[in-house]
Chains A and B, each alone.
Chain A
Amino acid sequence: MSRLWRRPAVLVAITAVLMLAAGIAVGWAASTAAPGNDSAEAGFARDMQTHHQQAVEMAMYEWRNGSDEAMTAIAYDIATSQSAEIGMYRSWLRDWDVQLSSGNPMAWAGEEHEHDTEEAGGLMPGMATDEEMAEFKTLTGTDADVMFAELMIAHHIGGIDMAKAALERSDNALVVDAARRSITVQQSDIDNLQGHLDNILSAVEQ
């Protein structure tokens, strides 16, 4: 009699232990499946936060010192949305338990990119030089609007280049989704920056 209730209890306990073990195994597999320190995913996330940081800096300056309302609006949009993306990249890196910075920018994106970045003194594709940033920060009003548009268009072209490099190298769902969105948003930003720039320049000519 005692066997009838006792044995199910034992078997349920065994099942529970097995399920726990299976859960731990799945958790372990998932954690080991996270991109490693030298992966394209980690490299992309690391370099994009650095890349975005400069865009935020430019956009904050333009927001404060530009005069064209369309241009300062897009600057606000870039400053806030790219700041949010920086947060996203950082939380990936922390989740993956990898370094948040690296001494070899663009190393994940192939030799050509790495070489170009070294040539540019560590500047990733599209990034403004220190001289350019210094010059930009002397400008106000329409001059700032114009240089902001030029710098940001180049910056975004470089950003799209990086996102495409990530798409070629990764099938991580997070990275693929972010890279794709980044390409469409930055492309539409470029079109809008160019449109506003054309409006400003034609107004200046008249």
Chain B
Amino acid sequence: MASKKQTASKSAGKGSGTGAVKSDGKPEDKKAQDTKAAKAEGKKSEGVKTEAKKAPAKSSKASARKPAGKSSATTAPARGKGRAVQVKQPKPWGLIWTFTGVGVVALGLIGAAIFVVWDRSQPPEGITSYYGDYANVTEAKAAIADGDITEEDLENPWVVQQTHVDGEDPAAVPEYEVTPPAGGNHLSQWQTCTGSVYDAPIVDGNAVHSLEHGAVWLTYDPALVDGDGIDQLASKIEGRDYSLMSPYQDLGVEVSVQAWGVQYQTSDLNDPKIDEFLDFYIQNSDNLAEMNATCSGGISTTIADQQMPTG
């Protein structure tokens, strides 16, 4: 045993001169050998049999701490073994800090990812939802499909009503509970909503059909918003598929944006919530009353256009 040790330390000494790898490897071997030796020693001495088997490396510490050994015979071999096992290594702080660091960064990234995903699924604050206890049209419809509730139990049953109501009387147009309307039964024609800016009021029943197709409708009060303001609002809509904009008489507030079942009104043309509303609700997959429908191919006339032939 002693000779082995000597060989080990010798080669280690040599190694340190030739290369770092060698010098690092050799003491490892030495340590292993020493531990083996300690084990063998422990087995021989009857007193520490069990301790040595369970944890040969720790046993030295444990027995050393004991103020009074069971017998001097027990303590002595244990101490000898302790020296053989290893000089107590300093805590590997480098290792601990490295892994703590990696762990903290990993948890941070996971947390951030979860937050981002969650945050994206949250509608902008301050909007009016007509879904009552439900988050969106999908949840409201699922509750009805599952038989949990009926349409009439909803705070606003119109959020799940999508019938075309062009009656036999062409003059009969749907009436809406909220102004401007944000969903409900509508006319068979949708208003073209391919980033369409209308300079005159459009028919509610056509615009609601556009909302069904996943569009956001921006309306403004022409009495409260001037030409520059209109241009500013139009720049948000032009070129943006699934959006449309039109003046709305007697709106009473500068701007009102609506998607199916939701609405946001503001007197500030620079309100960032207008853009947030557009970003969040255009083709929102959880709030699509009708999936895969288009904004093209609808009607692109205003109320004034439609009245021209008769009036």
Name A's B-contacting residues (CB within 8 A).
2-8, 11-12, 15, 69-71, 73-74, 76-77, 80-82, 84-85, 88, 180-181, 184-185, 188, 191-192, 195-196, 199, 202-203
* 17 interchain pairs, CB-CB under 8 A: A2-B20, A7-B94, A8-B99, A69-B189, A70-B188, A70-B189, A73-B188, A73-B189, A73-B297, A76-B294, A77-B290, A80-B293, A81-B291, A188-B162, A192-B163, A192-B188, A195-B163
B166 in contact (CB, < 8 A): yes
Contact between chains at B168 and A203 (CB < 8 Å): yes
What does DSSP make chain B's interface, helix, strand, loop or mixed? loop
- Top 7 closest A-B pairs, CB basis? A70-B188, A84-B292, A8-B98, A81-B292, A4-B94, A192-B164, A80-B294
B223 in contact (CB, < 8 A): no
Name the B residues within 8 Å of A191 (CB-CB): 163
**One of B24, B98, B141, B167 near A3 (C-beta < 8 A):** B24
Name the B residues within 8 Å of A70 (CB-CB): 164, 166, 188-189
Contact between chains at B24 and A6 (CB < 8 Å): yes
B92 in contact (CB, < 8 A): yes
Contact between chains at B24 and A202 (CB < 8 Å): no
B2 in contact (CB, < 8 A): no
What does DSSP make chain A's interface, helix, strand, loop or mixed? helix
CB closest residue in chain B, given A63: B297
Q: How far is the CA of A6 from the CA of B291 in the complex (A)?
A: 57
Name the A residues within 8 Å of B92 (CB-CB): 4, 7
Contact between chains at A15 and B102 (CB < 8 Å): yes
Q: How far is the CA of A88 from the CA of B285 in the complex (A)?
A: 14
Name the B residues within 8 Å of A80 (CB-CB): 292-294, 296-297
Name the B residues within 8 Å of A4 (CB-CB): 92-95
> Which chain B residues (235-292) contact chain A, with CB distance < 8 Å?
288, 290-292
Contact between chains at B164 and A195 (CB < 8 Å): yes
Name the A residues within 8 Å of B142 (CB-CB): 180
Name the A residues within 8 Å of B164 (CB-CB): 70, 74, 192, 195-196
Q: How far is the CA of A60 from the CA of B216 in the complex (A)?
A: 27
Contact between chains at A188 and B163 (CB < 8 Å): yes
| CB proximity of A68 to chain B, nearest CB, Å | 9
Contact between chains at A5 and B94 (CB < 8 Å): yes
Name the B residues within 8 Å of A85 (CB-CB): 291-292
B131 in contact (CB, < 8 A): no
B110 in contact (CB, < 8 A): no
CB closest residue in chain B, given A183: B145
Contact between chains at B297 and A76 (CB < 8 Å): yes
> Which chain B residues (181-212) contact chain A, with CB distance < 8 Å?
188-190
Name the A residues within 8 Å of B296 (CB-CB): 80
